[in-house]
Amino acid sequence: MEFELLDQIVFAAYALLIIGIGLWVSRGKGESSEDYFLASKSLPWWAIGTSLIAANISAEQFIGMSGSGFAIGLAIASYEWMAAITLLVVGKFFLPIFIEKKLYTIPEFVEVRYGTNLKTILAIFWIALFIFVNLTSVLYLGATALDTIIGVGDGSIFMYSIVGLALFAAAYSLYGGLAAVAWTDVVQVVLLIAGGLITTYIGLTHVAEDGGVISGMVSIYEQVPEKFSMILEKGEIMTPNGKDAWWDLPGLAVLLGGMWVANLYYWGFNQYIIQRTLAAKSLRESQKGIILAGFLKLLIPLIVVIPGIIAYVMNTGPNGEISSAFTDPSFIAESGTIINDNAFPWLIKEFIPVGLKGLVLAALAAAIVSSIASMLNSTATIFTMDIYKPYFSKGRSDKNLVTVGRLSATIALIIAVILAPQLANLGQVFQYIQEYTGIVSPGILAVFMLGLFYKKTTNKAAIWGVLLSIPIALYFKVGPNGWVDSPLFVELPFMHQMFITWILTMLIMVGISYAETKGRDHERAIIISKKLFETGPVFNICGFAILLIVAMLYALFW
């Protein structure tokens, strides 16, 4: 099906609506840094919850996680369902401290707890991560999807798509700041969930002979029951390219091991995620937003993982064979490798009818653009508040900080646009991002966890912990399955690598801290009142409901 005039009108209407809302909510706002970077600290719970999901759900999920659904199956949903539990931990134990300290950025906490030098090191690291990993991967995946859906998948509109997505996000986020990003996210989330559900619904109706949704779900489960296993054993599932899926999702590590490192780092100490919670009217309002995001995370696998399984069923033979006889050519690269990340775009292109295709594409664009806007705003916030303000803004006005924020976001976007085309042929991009973020996340998580809950942790210990965590992580990365074939190196799944790196880093930090303080509390220790962790009835009841639902899902698909 082609992208017809009606689809173009629907998509254009969506784009104008988002830009219009972004500019409208920014009208009459002051030019203070609190207005621009923290939306005047006025966000209600429902805007916080939806904005958290909009910032999180992007091309990584719609394209990358659907691709992992195609290659691995429902097991990849652990990233979503365990994230719902992680959000509860963040809301109860981390968020109260961050809001009490009146933070703009996560690096600010590092300065309060440790010192300025470590804050600057981590601020530079996060800016580099946002630009060179997050922004570039979102732009690349988004442009690839648009090229498949609107074009013919030959790259003819790839660069136009990258530039178009970048300009779309810039049109409202650079001017309006976090307020424009958060309020447009409310509309974006409605669109991306609706578009995802439409795609899943129509895909399921094409799987079953009677065209029913329930029978379609039953059909894919009966055809590929192995794709619905949540806790993988070694050798249980082989991806289309011959890789044992256990190496990506190694058994109980998704419940008790490395998944916690990835999720706690991402949801608790990631600026472009946590920033909207810092902009809440109050702590209770922020915690309610966390709860809403937790419930929405339970829904996400239905709209990003199930489509990948549907595409797998419809493009394989009786024994899971992938060949030109059963498989659409767009899934097979010239090298013969399988392009897993084509699953979601292929479903849209093949089965979504005229009119709805424009809406579904708008949903996909909403996921992409909202994440780009969030990353731009957070990059600008960290650069302005943690690098420019302390070192270069002496004697400058508060309005000058906003100008610098807009300029730094623009430069970051230009760099990402230039680099995005270099990410071709990555296979499962979602897994790629997780693995290489996992090199640095254990060390940073160790710094924050000990900074919060171990009073003896020193600045020197934190610096050594961050620095030494990198070679520890690389030791595992360059092993027999990596760059060096030597018996001196061990071969472990990257989730095990993250967990071991995190534990070893914390042990190193505890040892250095204890030796430096001789067992005394560090002078910058965070003194935490038990009352700070008290939560309201809404958080407690809904949090218990989320825990119960996650437990039931794992029991059902174990």
Is the predicted pLDDT of residue 36 greater than 80, yes or no?
no
| pLDDT recorded at residue 500 | 93
| pLDDT recorded at residue 425 | 55
The DSSP call for residue 309 is H
| pLDDT recorded at residue 298 | 95
CA–CA gap between residue 475 and residue 464 (Å, rounded): 17
State the pLDDT confidence band at 169, using cuts at 50, 70 and 90.
Answer: confident
Is the predicted pLDDT of residue 435 greater than 70, yes or no?
no
Asked if residue 108 lies in contact with residue 449, where contact means CB atoms within 8 angstroms, the answer is no
CA–CA gap between residue 105 and residue 531 (Å, rounded): 24
Is the predicted pLDDT of residue 480 greater than 70, yes or no?
no
Is the predicted pLDDT of residue 429 greater than 60, yes or no?
no
| pLDDT recorded at residue 189 | 86
| pLDDT recorded at residue 330 | 76
Asked if residue 370 lies in contact with residue 390, where contact means CB atoms within 8 angstroms, the answer is no
CA–CA gap between residue 231 and residue 51 (Å, rounded): 30
Q: Which pair of tokens denotes residue 418? A: 């230039």
Range in 25-29, 164-168, 480-484 the model is least confident about: 480-484
Mean pLDDT of 459-484: 80
Write down the H helix ranges in 383-521. Answer: 389-392, 398-419, 429-437, 441-453, 459-477, 494-517
Amino acid of residue 164: G
CA–CA gap between residue 358 and residue 373 (Å, rounded): 21
Mean pLDDT of 438-460: 90
Q: Which residue has the tokens 């699953």?
A: 343
Q: Which residue has the tokens 């799944």?
A: 493
| pLDDT recorded at residue 275 | 84
Is the predicted pLDDT of residue 133 greater than 70, yes or no?
yes
| pLDDT recorded at residue 140 | 86
User: Quick one: which of 1, 4, 8 has its CA closest to 152?
Assistant: 1
Q: Which residue has the tokens 């030109």?
A: 324
Q: Convert the pLDDT of each residue in 330-372 to its tens digit.
A: 787 766 777 777 888 888 888 888 878 888 888 888 878 888 8
Q: Which residue has the tokens 């289309």?
A: 240
Is the predicted pLDDT of residue 432 greater than 70, yes or no?
no
H or E stretch including 14?
helix 5-25
| pLDDT recorded at residue 449 | 93
Q: In the chain, pLDDT over 90 holds for what percent of residues?
A: 30
CA–CA gap between residue 30 and residue 11 (Å, rounded): 32
State the pLDDT confidence band at 410, using cuts at 50, 70 and 90.
Answer: very high
| pLDDT recorded at residue 192 | 83
- Give all strands (DSSP E) within 131-248, no chain letters: none
Asked if residue 300 lies in contact with residue 134, where contact means CB atoms within 8 angstroms, the answer is no
The DSSP call for residue 457 is -
Q: Residue 43 forms beta bridges with which residues?
A: 280
Q: Which pair of tokens denotes residue 386? A: 């943690």
Q: Convert the pLDDT of each residue in 246-290 to its tens digit.
A: 988 898 888 988 899 989 998 998 887 888 888 888 899 999 999
Instruction: Count CB-CB contacts under 10 A for residue 446.
Output: 28
| pLDDT recorded at residue 433 | 65
Amino acid of residue 342: N
Q: How far is CA 96 from the centre of its chain?
A: 22
Q: Does residue 386 or residue 157 have the better pLDDT?
A: 386
Asked if residue 197 lies in contact with residue 302, where contact means CB atoms within 8 angstroms, the answer is yes
| pLDDT recorded at residue 484 | 52
Mean pLDDT of 97-105: 85
CA–CA gap between residue 30 and residue 251 (Å, rounded): 51
| pLDDT recorded at residue 536 | 87
Q: Residue 332 forms beta bridges with which residues?
A: 338
| pLDDT recorded at residue 431 | 56
CA–CA gap between residue 402 and residue 31 (Å, rounded): 7
Give 190's contacts (C-beta < 8 A, 6+ positions apart): 50
CA–CA gap between residue 381 and residue 274 (Å, rounded): 12
| pLDDT recorded at residue 231 | 92
State the pLDDT confidence band at 172, using cuts at 50, 70 and 90.
Answer: confident
| pLDDT recorded at residue 143 | 86
Q: In the chain, pLDDT over 70 holds for what percent of residues?
A: 92
| pLDDT recorded at residue 141 | 80
State the pLDDT confidence band at 430, using cuts at 50, 70 and 90.
Answer: low
Mean pLDDT of 39-55: 85
CA–CA gap between residue 81 and residue 230 (Å, rounded): 11
CA–CA gap between residue 338 and residue 323 (Å, rounded): 10
* Averaged pLDDT score across all residues of the chain: 85
Q: Which residue has the tokens 């880093």?
A: 505
| pLDDT recorded at residue 91 | 92
Is the predicted pLDDT of residue 198 greater than 70, yes or no?
yes
| pLDDT recorded at residue 163 | 92
- Highest average pLDDT, of 110-119, 141-150, 325-334, 477-486, comes from 110-119
